[in-house]
Each structure stands twice: as C-alpha cells, then as structure tokens.
C-alpha cells in the first residue's frame, strides 16, 4: 500500500507482466464453448487511476491483449473481474464488456452507497455479479456483507469473494445465510502447506459441498513447491469431488501480484488435467458449469 516513509512516498512494488505469447493446453483438447471465468483488464494512470491502498503496481493489460489471450488459449468466452487496483472505477471493464457483449461477462466492485443508475449501467454492460475483496488492497470488505447480498439478490447477481480460506471459519455462518449464489476465488487462496485437515480448508470444503461455487484457479498463489504446482492436486480434487457441478476454471490473467516464476496460461490449463482427470467432468468445468453461472448459451 502507498505510504509515507521519511517524507517520501513509497510506491507499491511493480509486478511483472504475464508469460507471452499465450499458448493453449497440450494435455487435452479445450472444448468448444470453454470459458475463462477469471481475468482482468488494467488501464494506466492518469486515465485509469490506481487506488493508493494497494499492495502492488501492475503493468497495463489492454482489452486487445486480453482478447488475444482468450483466442490463443482456446477460450470461446471470458469473464472479466474488476481488478483491485482500480477500486470501484469499473470504466475499463465496462468498456470492454460493451464492445464484446456476446463473448464476455463481468464481475464489478461497487461502493456500499452505489446508486441505482450505476447498477443499471453495469447490468446493461453484462455484469452478473459483485466482488468483495479483503486481499491486495483496493477492494470492498465484508462489513456490509448482508447489504451486498440483498443488492445482488435484487439484481439477480451472485457474490464473489476474494478471501483467505483461513478466515472462512469465522465468516462461514454469515455466508451461509446469504440468499444468493456465492463464488470463492482461487479456492480460498489456501496455502497448501496447512494441509487437508486445516480448519480453513474444511470450512471451504463445507461451503462448497453445501452450495457455494469455487474457482479452480490461482495455483501459483496457493502452492508451496512451485511449478508445475502438483502439490495443489489433492486439494482441488477434493473440492471438485464435493461439487463437480459448481466448479469453474480461470486463468487469473495477467497474473498480478506474483513475483515468482510465471506459468503460461496453457500450462495452467494443463494442470486442469491433473485436477480433473475425467474428460467429461473437465468439459463440464470449462463449459457447462460456467455457462450456467454466467449466463452464456452453451448449445450443449
């Protein structure tokens, strides 16, 4: 986060860009209709300011580069998630959605006092959910969780949480009372070093089994061993077994706030062959589940 130190502004550290050029999976055929359910577009100041309360400073990730990533990785559709460094300024995401109405959907970040006119603009652009984020700065936390739940219910949207699974045991009772679908980013940012019996992981597994959706994404955020992230396999396989019809996949492109070795989107897709070895179940994750959650027409 931006802070003052010895009368100088300390800028959050820059993070590298994603691996390029993007490639597709080599271990399986990406099915027609596949959806990347988690990626970001990022503008640069001054046109698209960064929030001061952030933990990293990203490079630009243009709409054109994002669409090329989808094409190269074999994704028919995509879901843009409002990136934390832009706070509640959803303009670039909305602009990208409006230019690609059949191909894209969006998840917005809004202030608690957002007015109905702004919500109408977001919905018209293709937004289908709201994100609450307590990691990386620039997001909206859980103080007004119930108010956001009511807002999402009125709009026919879902709530998406960027949260550490280690916080879920305390949050789970409130989450369970929400009357809207919920989606957990990056399977709860769970550090696999804590093990399968950790209370945070068990709380995540229970939420998923009881009705929550989970994004099979962010392996590089949860790993201990590093690429190719094989230490994540038993954790994701158990979540998928808990709710095979409520798992979706995301690249997390452009993979911000990550300074360790960067995997290509195609390598992250290949990891899905270990996470969900059965081809029929894997196609369901990439196509059917995502189409149902985000409102794409699968034609399947």
C-alpha 45, offset from chain centre: 23
Tell me the H-state helices in the chain.
Answer: 63-73, 91-99, 116-125, 145-155, 168-176, 199-209, 219-222, 233-242, 265-275, 279-283, 289-294
Contact 90, 64 (CB under 8 A): no
Alpha-carbon gap, residue 65 to 35, rounded angstroms? 17
Q: Please give the structure tokens belonging to residue 117.
A: 């006119």
Q: How far is CA 160 from CA 18, 43, 244, 299, in A?
A: 23, 22, 18, 26
Active site residues: 252
Contact 162, 139 (CB under 8 A): yes
Alpha-carbon gap, residue 134 to 167, rounded angstroms? 10
CB atoms closer than 10 angstroms to residue 179: 9
């Amino acid at each position: 986060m931006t802070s003052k130190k010895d009368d100088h502004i300390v800028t959050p550290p820059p993070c590298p860009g994603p691996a390029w050029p993007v490639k597709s999976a080599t271990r399986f055929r990406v099915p027609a209709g596949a959806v990347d359910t988690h990626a970001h577009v990022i503008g640069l100041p001054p046109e698209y300011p960064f929030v001061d309360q952030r933990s990293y400073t990203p490079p630009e990730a243009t709409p054109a580069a994002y669409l090329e990533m989808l094409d190269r990785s074999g994704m028919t559709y995509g879901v843009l998630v409002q990136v934390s460094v832009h706070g509640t300024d959803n303009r670039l995401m909305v602009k990208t959605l409006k230019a690609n109405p059949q191909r894209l959907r969006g998840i917005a970040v809004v202030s608690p006092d957002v007015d109905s006119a702004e919500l109408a603009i977001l919905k018209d652009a293709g937004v289908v959910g709201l994100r609450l984020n307590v990691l990386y700065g620039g997001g909206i936390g859980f103080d007004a969780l119930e108010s956001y739940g009511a807002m999402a219910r009125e709009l026919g949207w879902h709530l998406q949480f960027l949260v550490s699974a280690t916080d879920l045991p305390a949050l789970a009772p409130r989450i369970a009372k929400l009357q809207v679908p919920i989606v957990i980013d990056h399977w709860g940012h769970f550090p696999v070093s804590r093990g399968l019996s950790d209370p945070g992981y068990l709380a995540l597994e229970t939420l998923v089994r009881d009705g929550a959706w989970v994004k099979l994404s962010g392996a590089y955020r949860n790993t201990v061993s590093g690429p190719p992230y094989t230490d994540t396999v038993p954790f994701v396989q158990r979540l998928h077994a808990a709710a095979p019809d409520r798992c979706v996949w995301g690249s997390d492109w452009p993979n911000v706030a990550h300074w360790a070795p960067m995997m290509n989107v195609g390598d992250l897709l290949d990891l899905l062959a270990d996470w969900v070895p059965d081809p029929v179940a894997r196609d369901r994750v990439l196509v059917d589940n995502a189409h149902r959650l985000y409102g794409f027409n699968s034609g399947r």
